[in-house]
Amino acid sequence: MSKITPELIAEHGLTVEEYQKVLEILGREPNLVELGIFSVMWSEHCSYKSSKKWLKTLPTEGPHVIQGPGENAGVVDLGEGLAAVFKIESHNHPSFIEPYQGAATGVGGILRDVFTMGARPAMNLNALRFGSPDHPKTRHLVAGVVSGIGGYGNCVGIPTVGGEVDFHPAYNGNILVNAMTVGLAPTDRIFYSAAAGPGNPVVYVGSKTGRDGIHGATMASAEFDADSEEKRPTVQVGDPFTEKLLIEACLELMSTDAIVAIQDMGAAGLTSSSFEMASKGGVGVELDLELVPMREEGMTPYELMLSESQERMLMVLKPGREDLARSIFEKWDLDFAIIGRLTETGRMVLRWHGETVGDLPIDPLALASPEYDRPWEPTPAAEPINVSQPMERPLDILKDMLGGPDLSSRRWVWEQYDHLIGGNTILRPGADAAVIRLPDGRRGLAATTDCTPRYCYADPVQGGRQAVAESWRNLCAVGAKPLAVTNNLNFGNPERPRVMGQLVGCVQGMGEACRTLDYPVVSGNVSLYNETEGQAILPTPVIGGIGLVEDVSRLAAPGLEKGDLALILIGATQGHLGQSLYLHHVEGREEGPPPPVDLAAERRNGEFLRQQIANGQIVAAHDLSDGGLLVALAEMALIGGVGAELHLPEEWQERPAEWLFGEDQARYLVAVKDPESLLSAAKEAEVPAVIIGKSGGDGLTLGNLGSMSLSELRNAHESWFPNYMSGGVA
């Protein structure tokens, strides 16, 4: 065994103070195996030691919530005996180091979080952030990540139906890969991870354990530096075909009465899964590590406990059900091994060929991980800005925006994903939210991922509110009732007060929005230390939201349809251009405060729109976000292949930039056949609504401000991504 030195302690990511706590808990010096266990369990990635204090402030309960944070995934009641099981997770650091495997295993990991709960995965989404297109690594990273997501998800047979792809220089040295899975399960067949029953067997199933991913959790809890390329061994390697077998085997065993508890081996592998199961159940565990299936020779207890090899699960079975379980896993050509048993001791005892190589108290290690109240400082309020107004050719500006990295079509990305497999996808990528058909055939489940990092950087509180509100709007825009969210909080180094202040502010804003909208947080992930050599990412709290569609025949989609349709803008317009894409594209500035978020207006306007969709009043709908009104209109026209004429209201003639490109919140653009009926209903509901144009033709017309064909806009919109990925100008 290696001698425990200050250098070795530092290599394991433990501070001097944390190591002193280790000594207090053990009453002695740890051996190397035990030090490694403390290292991963107390890593930021596994322990949430910088964020726990603030995560506790989020609302986590609601009438639909079956299981909130604390399990592998959140569970929400969909009615009629059906539950949605969902979560989002990050694989940021691995994806930067090894983009294909990093992204692929991110998908595999989130799938396991969901089917561990007894749910069959039904759809995947992802939220991707890359550096500037002209950075030398960006094209390589985009290609690898997208290929990895498609390569894994397609092979497993789960449709990838939605997400987002953004570019910004802040992600040059640290990309973000957030993967979300939504699954379906009977409400009376949800499985949990709390171990129970001293004497019950502890069973390992799935793939063999190798040396890949060792110290992956610790690596994901530290900044990148000049030597980060050397961390490739800490990136796991995935096998989607084995994952598919594992899904089917687990679900088959779950149809029996054999399972007491089940946990996937994710970050920190066998260590986290065994400790968490035992701690939740208040029991002890004894493991014989030589019984762990190994794919490499000469593996050590240290490597076995810390490996993050993929496609593995840990179970506690009822006595006497071992042979049944073994037969199922062997039928699916997967490893099955009884590697230990539960005890009453409250300790984790690890043996290697009869010799004790680890003996640790479970609760102090699992529950008493450090919890820091880190110093933080609020982000100073941004100064108001002045924006130039002359716009002789607004459609040229629109074309430039639609044909650039921020707003160009993501078709190149999502066409690499199988978004139709399973035959239940109703609304595909490109809609405000994806929708799949539920097994009853009548109802649908909607899902979306959303965040606007530049808003969060300028004002974390407003940015946190806006991320939740945009998720809410995207669900409402398709006619879904928002039920709950999962979140992925991506930030820089929390030891920097300004960065910690960003996290605190975003969580405060998210909490306010979730409470006002009755939209609780049921699961999530925190990813910190996303920075390279002191350069942090933009604060990026991604919100994954789900909602229920009661009747899929009454969905709303964003594409305009042929016919004499009136275009109605729902929500109040002030013309806010701070932090807008217009400001960035036209004036090269990222300045000013973000648009304020009126949560009461968000709720009122969203509920009104959902009611009108359910009543069959809405032909097409789209929320207003990046780029404002004109971008939303162009997207609706391009999706539907139908042009439109926009009427600029008289009071806005002198401020066209604000009217056309302002990013005011709580707004939707809808197309209707009976505008008077909608306007009357809006007035009664005290919802601002105004007719701003009509559909028709084969181009966009802005009165005396010009016109442009859809074909010209489409060429700009569709060409940037494939041109860029084929080596064209960024």
Catalytic (active-site) positions: 45, 91
SS3 at position 724? helix
**CA triple 684-686-688, angle to 5 deg:** 115
State the helix-helix crossing angle for 599-614 and 460-478, rounded to 10 degrees.
10
Kindly state the tokens that stand for 663.
Answer: 């990013």
8 A C-beta contact, residue 510 and residue 460: no
Helix (H) or strand (E) holding 48: none
The rounded distance, in Å, linking the Cα atoms of 691 and 291 is 71
Please give the Cα distance from 645 to 17 (Å, whole number): 66
Q: Using CB atoms within 10 A of its CB, is residue 140 exposed (0-12), middle (13-18) or buried (19+)?
A: exposed
Residue burial 451-487, b: 16+ Cβ < 10 Å; e: rest:
bbbbbbbbbbbbbbbbbbbbbbbbbbbbbbbbbbbbb
Neighbours of 327 (CB within 10 A): 11
Sign of the torsion angle spanned by Cα atoms 608, 614, 620, 621: positive
Q: Which residues pair with 644 in a beta bridge?
A: 695, 700
Report yes or no: 287 and 351 within 8 Å, Cβ to Cβ: yes
Vertex 557 angle, CA 551 and 558, to 5°: 160
Q: Residues 471, 521: contact at Cβ < 8 Å? A: no
Return d(Cα 430, Cα 557) in angstroms, integer. 9
Number of other CB atoms surrounding residue 703 within 10 Å: 12
How far is it, in rounded angstroms, from Cα 354 to Cα 347? 17
Token couple for 532: 């390279």
SS3 call for 40: helix
Closest to 91 measured CA to CA, from 140, 123, 128 = 128
CA–CA dist 544, 551 (Å, integer)? 22
Distance CA 550, CA 122 (A): 18
> If residue 708 lies in a helix (H) or strand (E), which one and from where to where?
strand 707-709
Tokens of 684: 């009664």
How many beta carbons lie within 10 A of that of residue 562, not counting itself? 10
- Reduce the DSSP state of residue 488 to 3 states and report it: strand
